[in-house]
Chains A and B, each alone.
Chain A
């Protein structure tokens, strides 16, 4: 991680000492963990001081079963700064059963549809979002398809007299999961 990002992350930690973790550099990318209660303020600080003008991506991940000492859902914010030509990832964890987080649509309007998509697929409610409703699934759809406990939903297909089930329930070659290195940072 180069100096500008190091300085920036240090400044960020000073402004939000209990809510922002140590920056982690992995595969050449910098990630910072943010507590979900202060996500809006942290994003506003980053947009103004980074300046991280572009929210490139807002995505959700469901860690059901592989990171037992972490909250189940993670919302990742990928930021880009034109002036510094730097990228930064923010990670905010959201627990199962209390899937709420503040919306950053007031900071970056591009978050509007991105948060609707995460709501549609994971069921995470973004508080303060101007128009939170489903975006890709039909409006009356039941369930949140991208969650790990939502089935793939395929139908059995007949091949030469044998009914082959969809890929998620077929016999799989055995593999051991090494477990996600859930860094508490």
Chain B
């Protein structure tokens, strides 16, 4: 574009545009601080009127160096770092990381731990889809959807707080199992939530599914067909909305998913409305899986037996706050020298993981979340690389957005459901 001086002195827009050459495109920057871009995403769009001619996403505004941080901490501490990458679904980050560490160690978490992992992950999938629904609805104008979505999410966060102690970024799933067992009040809380949840989804579908405004804004918008999606590496609800029934929980099951009865949500539309339907169905299926996991919960330990790997602390609420339980302290200080040594080694240095590399994918709410973990035989990882689904799905943004209007760009990105923490890590 050659440099030209255009005097804008309050005249009619047409008079401004005509000497400038009416067929010039306008370059507009959207973000990184923007209410509708799902976090710090920057879109540099070239517009011809309101039609998007070209769109370049610029990312990296939330780059945290999580992968480098895991290389200087031990394997257990890595859980607290990776859980903050995709912050809307922290259990999935922890699960994929712990599964890869367990694969390298050659151990398997006990059955009860696996079932609780499935339960927590499915509840978190519901909460992540609720945030998608809430923010997507708000961006397209359905403001009440925001309040409804966060209302359900509060109930789920209460459940997570009851079990793990934190509302978000839990660090609950550890290599070898879980940090602690479900408290006694948890099953009732979860059952109460699952009992009223299907009625709530019915409410949301009544509000949106047949709403002509919602359908107008979402049908035919942001089309991504199956072959384009696969070539671009897109997985998750975006791929399933294009007609490909690919869900890692069915195709390459992990953590006991083969025991549960559920269906993959598939739709043929390949547009935003199809992705909406897929995610609504996924919420229902997740509620089904959570209920089955709760009913079929096996008894037993939640951490692997090997004292060289199992996180030693048993926490309990004492007179001076939360800390190690009295029985455990009596055991390590008075009774077993070996337990004391294991506790000391695990807490200061951590366990050593045999050398090698693995790639473990799980099905996160956004797609295939994979961890490529390389170990050099030490007590710290050598390299942890997160294949984050949002990062790969966001590559498809120009495909979805070019040729449409700016308002459709908002709808397309909302249906992509990117979480910038995962994109930038």
State A109–B229 Cα separation when bound (angstroms): 10
B378 A175 Cβ-Cβ under 8 A = yes
Residue of B nearest to A26 (CB): B356
CA A31 to CA B385, docked complex, whole Å: 17
In the complex, A180→B355 CA distance in Å? 6
**B348 contacts partner chain A, Cβ-Cβ < 8 Å:** yes
**B277 interface hit (Cβ, 8 Å):** no
What separation, in Å, do the CA atoms of A146 and B60 have in the docked complex? 15
Which residues in A have their C-beta under 8 angstroms from that of B65?
145, 152-153
A87 to B254, CA, bound (A): 15
CB-CB under 8 A from A146, the residues of chain B are: 67-68, 383
- The interface on chain B, measured as residues whose beta carbon lies within 8 A of the other chain's beta carbons, has a size of 50
The digit string for A105-138, where 1 denotes a CB below 8 A from any CB of B, is: 0001110111001000000000000000011111
**Does B358 touch A at the CB level, under 8 Å?**
yes
Stretch from B18-26, B86-94, B326-334, B367-375 at the A interface: B367-375
State whether A112 touches B359 (Cβ < 8 A). Answer: no
- Asked whether any CB of chain A lies closer than 8 Å to the CB of B392, the reply is yes
Chain B stretch 221-270: residues in CB contact (< 8 A) with chain A: 230-235, 244, 246, 251-252
A110 touches B349 (CB 8 A): no
- B392 partner residues in chain A, CB cutoff 8 A: 110, 113-114
A112-B361 Cα distance, complex, nearest whole Å = 20
> Given A66-B382, A82-B230, A179-B377, A27 and B72 touching (CB < 8 A)?
no
> Residues of B contacting A109 with CB < 8 Å?
231-233, 395
Cβ of A155 within 8 Å of any chain B Cβ, yes or no, is: no
Q: What residue in chain B is nearest A182 (Cβ atoms)?
A: B355
Closest 8 CB pairs of A and B: A110-B233, A178-B377, A136-B60, A57-B387, A59-B385, A173-B349, A168-B72, A136-B63
List chain B positions with a Cβ less than 8 A from chain A: 59-60, 63, 65, 67-69, 72-73, 103-104, 106, 230-235, 244, 246, 251-252, 348-349, 352, 354-359, 361, 368, 370, 372, 374, 376-379, 382-383, 385, 387, 391-392, 394-395, 424-425
Can you list 10 pairs linking A and B with CB atoms under 8 Å apart? Answer: A27-B103, A57-B370, A60-B385, A61-B382, A62-B383, A87-B359, A108-B233, A146-B67, A178-B376, A181-B355
